[in-house]
Amino acid sequence: MKIGFYPGCSLKGSSREYNESVVAIAKALDIELVEIKDWNCCGATAAHSMNEELSLSLPARILALAEAQGLKEVVVPCAACYNRLMVTQHELKDDKKRSRVTDIIEMPYSGDLKIINVLQMLETYAMDKIKEKVTKPFAHKVACYYGCLLIRPHKILQFDRVEDPQSMDAMIKLIGGSPIDWAFKTECCGAGFSVSRTDLVAKLSGNILQDAADRKAEAIIVACPMCQSNLDMRRGAINETLSKPSDIPVIFITQAIGLALGVSPKELGLERHFVTVKL
């Protein structure tokens, strides 16, 4: 089956392995990803922190492109892009805002596109296939970290539940893993402060790693490039705040599934991580 695909900037750059793993398991599960042509950046945190109209127009252009290219459904692996696109679609239900934004982007926009995140894509189209095709059960005790933007604001996203979400946990169980019950599933990792306030990222991501380590998790599973980057790339800064430095790897849910389906670690981009992935 075919589905529209919006990779977003991080999948093309600093979270390249997320892209690689999404493409790899899509192939293994017979899902054809049709990338939106000439897509632009969604604006992420910077746009909505600085100017409301900009923050709605950039995603609106993406949605308008997808509609113009005949796509009905688009999967957005990056949690931040998913959040921005969903929120924009919701805000543009208001007639005044929609008319202003369509003036700005100078493109027709209907708002009928179905936007899903990678977990929803797997839940809707691939659960049975995954179950059949598991060749190397992912027998590890892991902490599933959802972050903020996949789950909140619940009223708009309507995905999983705000406290103690379970969708990734269910997927880990499906591929033979043991997700642990822990306390930091949805506490922010420090998000866009990676560069401007690395100290805060170290503190917040440190808390997350500490709890996972205390509960003996062998890995942290994520579905957001920002979270992965903060927990992985910034491990050096984080370790300075911890009483005992941690070497727990942080991998994407798609990489975990890929491993279970027998895809090679190289194809899944596991060698691009900062903290060595030995699973």
Partner 1 sequence: MENINKISGDLLKYTSVDVSHCYQCGKCTAGCVLASEMNFPPSYLMRLLQTGTEENYERILRSNTIWLCLNCENCLGRCPMEIDIPKVMDYLREQSLNKKKLHPDAKPIVAFHKSFLDSIKYTGRLYEVGLIAGFKARSFRLTQDVKLAPKMYMNGKLHLMPEMIKDIKGVGKIFSKTIDNPKTKNK
Partner 2 sequence: MSKIGVFICHCGENISATVDCERVAQEIRKVEGVEYAIDYKYMCSDPGQTLIKDAIREHHLDGVVVGSCSPRMHEPTFRKACAEAGLNPFLCEMANLREHCSWVHEKGEATTEKAFDLVKMLVEKVKRNKPLDAIKVPITKKALVIGGGIAGIQASLDIANAGHKVILIEKDPSIGGHMSQLSETFPTLDCSQCILTPRMVEVAQHPNITLYTYAELDSLEGFIGNFTAKIRLKAKSVDHKKCTGCGACLQKCPQKRIPSEFNAGLGNRTAIYVPFPQAVPNKPVIDREHCNYYKRGKCKICEATCPTGAIEWDKEDEILTEQVGAIVVTTGFNVKGADFFPEYGYGKYKDVLTGLQFERLASASGPTLGEIRRPSDGTIPKKIVFIACAGSRDPAKGIPYCSKICCMYTAKHAMLYQHKVHDGESTVFYMDIRAGGKNYEEFVRRAIEEDHVNYVRGRVARVYEKDGKLIVKGVDTLLSGQQVEIEADMVVLATAGVSNCGAEQLAQKMHISYDPYHFFAEAHPKLKPVETNTAGIFLAGACQAPKDIPETVGMASGAAVKVAGLFSNNELVREPLIAVVNRCAPPQFSTCVGCFMCQTACPYNAIEREEIKGRDGKVIKTVAKVNPGLCQGCGTCVAFCRSKSIDIQGYSNEQMFAEVMSLLNH
Nearer to partner 1, 33 or 58 (CB): 58
Distances (CA, A) of 263 to 22, 34, 76, 129, 142: 11, 21, 22, 15, 19
Pick out residues in 180-199 that bind partner 2 (CB under 8 A).
181, 183
Sheet holding 219-222, edge to edge: 178-179, 141-145, 219-222, 250-252
Exposure string for 53-64, b = 16+ CB within 10 A, e = fewer: eebbbbbbbbbb
Binding-residue total with partner 2 (CB under 8 A): 8
Q: Does 164 participate in binding partner 2 (rule CB under 8 A)? A: yes
Determine which residue in the list 3, 23, 29, 44 makes contact with partner 1, applying CB under 8 A. Answer: 44
Own/partner long-range contacts of 155-159 (Cβ < 8 Å, ≥24 apart): 156/86, 156/87, 156/90, 157/83, 157/86, 159/117, 159/119, 159/120
Rg (CA), the chain: 18
Q: Could you tell me the smallest distance in angstroms from the CB atom of residue 42 to partner 1?
A: 9
Of 155 and 244, the one with the shorter C-beta distance to partner 1 is 155
Is residue 182 close enough to count as binding partner 1 by CB under 8 A?
A: no
41 binds partner 1 (CB under 8 A): yes
Q: Does 78 bind partner 1 (CB under 8 A)?
A: no
Taking the complex as a whole, the smallest distance from the CB of residue 163 to partner 2 amounts, in Å, to 4
Contact between residue 275 and residue 247 where contact means Cβ atoms under 8 Å apart? yes
Candidates 9, 41, 156, 162; binder of partner 2 (CB under 8 A) is 162
Listed in order, strand segments (DSSP E) in the chain are 2-5, 32-35, 73-76, 114-117, 141-145, 178-179, 219-222, 250-252
Distance between CA 252 and CA 265 in Å, rounded?
A: 12
State the DSSP code for 36.
P
Binding to partner 1, residues 224-253 (CB under 8 A): 233
Shortest distance in whole angstroms from residue 146 CB to partner 2: 13
- Kindly tell me which of 41 and 242 has the beta carbon lying closer to partner 2: 242
**Footprint on this chain of partner 2 (rule: CB under 8 A):** 161-164, 181, 183, 211, 214
**Footprint on this chain of partner 1 (rule: CB under 8 A):** 9-10, 12-16, 38-41, 43-55, 57-58, 61, 103-106, 148-149, 151-155, 162-163, 186-188, 190-193, 195-198, 200, 204, 207, 233, 271-274
